Structure 1
């Protein structure tokens, strides 16, 4: 177990494929900036949808695909992209994804019709899926012990802030450039970021680490059959969730049957293929308590976490008639709390372990229930101020969940598998997000839909559903705390966490 390990010295000597001591943190800044850009595009577009409808006359179905197309393409690419980085080198895949994302952002901003914009968003999703798993892979490659926890803490802060600050930035851009053309700058804002990061990525990011025996030695191909099975299974699984509001009726849920069959076929193939070569996803990873429980916890938490912003934005803009900027400002307390706590959590997770995650989840549950109570007691337009306190508290808890859980989950994963393992973890997050938005959205619209909908009641019911999902994640954390060792990550050289040995 990871908890038996002593953190490696923070100032370990760089080996081949790692940047020197002085370059590791600037290299991490490059990774986090690019990651921020891709994750920002998940939330920033939400507040731009009315502007897009006005600007190019997009249909409701087209607007849904502007959102869901990105999520589908992103989730489809994550695991194969992580494996590609493991096999071919993370820097090359990262740079390719960065170039593609920048180009796709320019195409999206210049879109003249609905089909053009949807195609550009699909391309953006592919590029984001290429980039994101390389970030966790680089952290595994460049850092050890307590420093790895700090690095994942900064990644967690990036995830939390990018998710929550998107509506605010989108609102500012739309207010600055107008309701007809403001939506274009939601995409154009990525261009200077991408152009600035690209030369730094080429100079600062490390090349591939040396290949030694064991896991790395057998990696001579990308397991194309595994890629096809996992890709098909992921898309078929996600489709009914991301199209939940557009595909009426229960027939769409029949897609879960072929999705289960495809994913079962993927698991069987990986077991068979793994007897001879290194598979796309080494299923032995799930025998590690830290990885298996951490992935499940992440899936459940992201189902609740992402859906908070979905229903809150709808409630504020449609129910309370907030502007995009006002809605963004109302979400800021959660973003601030999450960013601050994630950085702190990353510093202490190596000492506290899973109990830190459990404590964060308790805070999230309390903060969300406080938000529900605030909305129940006050239905005026001052609701943005009334909910600031409980949202700040929930954000502080969230910051103690995402980054520490990622640190613990990947603590025993060899660096040679860091990309694919991180891709699986992030795919679980995307599946959780899609399922959570579908479930919470369904509860929300059951009350808020129609011409005389109960927006306040819909938001309260939706947020209670989000809270229940966070509570399920808390149950997983408590099971680990009381039946295991708490999963305090170590990762000393020569064991799974450093990448030279492992399952």
Structure 2
């Protein structure tokens, strides 16, 4: 089978607006909010989990990065499964599994039980999430699609940012000893309600059919998963595994990821469906947008991990106080996300550049504030820089999602959207592992403030790297435009 070049999308199927599309979108956004919220809501529960289950530092990181990793690894095959078997069916199956896994997390009696339940919960989130972007592609066209993606981008940003506040409220209400369990139990009624509404409102997928296991590329899933795990292990286990030999796993990771790329090309040449259509990455908007998303989420989500630990364990804030301290970021992100969704068609990638620059400046201001104010007054000093960073974040996530998928045909919507979010989730896992390694490594010798400072430096580094990718995209786009005008 000849390899299809995604730069020239195939004609989309006939489009008839679904009268229930906005209600269906609301169901998708609530489910998306629930699955993405679990990336960050657990942050404020970490000190309680650590005490209640006698959890070591490495397991604390796996509670977060393990969820993000399993979430990310199943996004691409889940996207393809939804394209083939029906997005509504896969969406509902994911909701059932996510709800059951949440119940298991809440009932955990050991850190191993919790980590395994979080891995299953991540798999379920990976089933749900790619169906959302694919359903938006299916249900909306033109300006409506931009608005729908803008709403989804708002959910992505706000769910990650507002998690610490909601987690703090739940722990405050249920008590510090058992309150962390309600961080997971809260998903049960939400999941049940979404399941009923999804059955009633979500549309079927045109051309849905049966799919065989080999069409989901299990070898590709294993190679990619093993490569990313080998990349994370030296950082997550940095204090548990003394010596530098552990960093040889980075060589193993590079070999596994190279084998993954070879296998995907082999699948394409043989006519089989690869896990990841590498031809998508020949399109500049998709390849650079995916790289930007990975780097940004590495910096974005790791901020909340170290911030909540610093505020609660270092400054002895309650879970609610820690959540309130981080709320300005959520407010800023919510205020600007809708604006970003409306402006992206007119301003394009330069809008993302502005957003990333604001995030970098805001986070640098956060690190500066920690050194200027002492004691519990630090929370007040963080309001302005976190608000500024949040305003910038709202201009990054939604516009980047729209721009990255702008040249992807609807028939590839599920797998392309899944691959984009895989990068974001893998970026989250890498960021938590890298920042956590630096943070815990400095904590024993330098104290909480310096450990937090060094962790923030790593987070800012990821954001600056994303900024450089965005600038490269802007420059390349202007060169292409100039070359096109010269030929004309």
Normalising by structure 2, we get a TM-score of 0.90
Post-superposition shift, 1:146? Answer: 2.5
Instruction: Tell me which of 162, 167, 171 is aligned to 2:159.
Output: 162
Partner of 1:188: 185
Residue by residue, what CA displacement relative to the aligned partner does 1:317-354 show, whole Å, maximum 9, x if unpaired?
12211111100000000001111211111111111110
Is 1:234 the counterpart of 2:231? The answer is: no
Partner of 2:363: 368
Residue by residue, what CA displacement relative to the aligned partner does 1:244-294 show, whole Å, maximum 9, x if unpaired?
454443333222222222222222222222132332221110000000010
Residues 2 and 395 (structure 1), Cα distance of their counterparts in 2 relative to 1, 3 Å cut: farther
Partner of 2:315: 320
Post-superposition shift, 1:486? Answer: 9.6
After TM superposition, the structure 1 = structure 2 runs for residues 374-393 of structure 1, keeping only pairs within 5 Å, are 374-393=369-388
Residues 286 and 352 (structure 1), Cα distance of their counterparts in 2 relative to 1, 3 Å cut: same
Partner of 1:436: 431
Is 1:455 the counterpart of 2:448? The answer is: yes
After TM superposition, the structure 1 = structure 2 runs for residues 106-125 of structure 1, keeping only pairs within 5 Å, are 106-125=103-122
Residues 51 and 439 (structure 1), Cα distance of their counterparts in 2 relative to 1, 3 Å cut: closer
| SS, match of residue 472 in structure 2 | helix
Partner of 2:91: 94
- Looking at structure 2, the residues matched to 42 and 262 of structure 1 have their Cα atoms a distance apart, in angstroms, of 26
Aligned Cα RMSD in Å? 2.9
Instruction: Tell me which of 203, 219, 223 is aligned to 1:225.
Output: 219
| SS, match of residue 449 in structure 1 | helix
- Looking at structure 1, the residues matched to 60 and 218 of structure 2 have their Cα atoms a distance apart, in angstroms, of 33
User: Is the Cα contact below 8 Å between 1:46 and 1:167 reproduced in 2?
Assistant: yes
Post-superposition shift, 1:168? Answer: 1.4
Is 1:152 the counterpart of 2:149? The answer is: yes
Partner of 2:484: none
- Looking at structure 1, the residues matched to 436 and 54 of structure 2 have their Cα atoms a distance apart, in angstroms, of 24
- Looking at structure 1, the residues matched to 77 and 8 of structure 2 have their Cα atoms a distance apart, in angstroms, of 32
Instruction: Tell me which of 42, 47, 50 is aligned to 1:45.
Output: 42
Residues 280 and 388 (structure 1), Cα distance of their counterparts in 2 relative to 1, 3 Å cut: same
Post-superposition shift, 1:195? Answer: 0.8
Residues 311 and 399 (structure 1), Cα distance of their counterparts in 2 relative to 1, 3 Å cut: same
Structure 1 gaps of 5+ residues are 489-503
Residues 123 and 370 (structure 1), Cα distance of their counterparts in 2 relative to 1, 3 Å cut: same
- Looking at structure 2, the residues matched to 447 and 423 of structure 1 have their Cα atoms a distance apart, in angstroms, of 36
Partner of 1:495: none
Partner of 2:485: none
Post-superposition shift, 1:296? Answer: 0.9
Instruction: Tell me which of 27, 30, 33 is aligned to 2:27.
Output: 30
- Looking at structure 2, the residues matched to 89 and 4 of structure 1 have their Cα atoms a distance apart, in angstroms, of 25
Residues 258 and 330 (structure 1), Cα distance of their counterparts in 2 relative to 1, 3 Å cut: same
Post-superposition shift, 1:217? Answer: 12
Post-superposition shift, 1:238? Answer: 3.5
Post-superposition shift, 1:308? Answer: 1.4
Normalising by structure 1, we get a TM-score of 0.87
Residue by residue, what CA displacement relative to the aligned partner does 1:55-80 show, whole Å, maximum 9, x if unpaired?
34445554444334323322322222
User: Is the Cα contact below 8 Å between 1:330 and 1:384 reproduced in 2?
Assistant: yes
Deviates more, 1:253-262 or 1:286-295: 253-262
Partner of 1:468: 461
User: Is the Cα contact below 8 Å between 1:211 and 1:217 reproduced in 2?
Assistant: no
Equivalenced residue count is: 474
Residues 145 and 242 (structure 1), Cα distance of their counterparts in 2 relative to 1, 3 Å cut: farther
Is 1:285 the counterpart of 2:280? The answer is: yes
Greater helix fraction, Structure 1 or Structure 2: 2
- Looking at structure 1, the residues matched to 458 and 27 of structure 2 have their Cα atoms a distance apart, in angstroms, of 36
Residues 243 and 88 (structure 1), Cα distance of their counterparts in 2 relative to 1, 3 Å cut: farther
User: Is the Cα contact below 8 Å between 2:90 and 2:128 reproduced in 1?
Assistant: yes
Is 1:396 the counterpart of 2:391? The answer is: yes
User: Is the Cα contact below 8 Å between 1:164 and 1:334 reproduced in 2?
Assistant: yes
Partner of 1:412: 407
| SS, match of residue 216 in structure 2 | coil
Partner of 1:207: 204
Residues 69 and 460 (structure 1), Cα distance of their counterparts in 2 relative to 1, 3 Å cut: closer
Residues 29 and 241 (structure 1), Cα distance of their counterparts in 2 relative to 1, 3 Å cut: farther
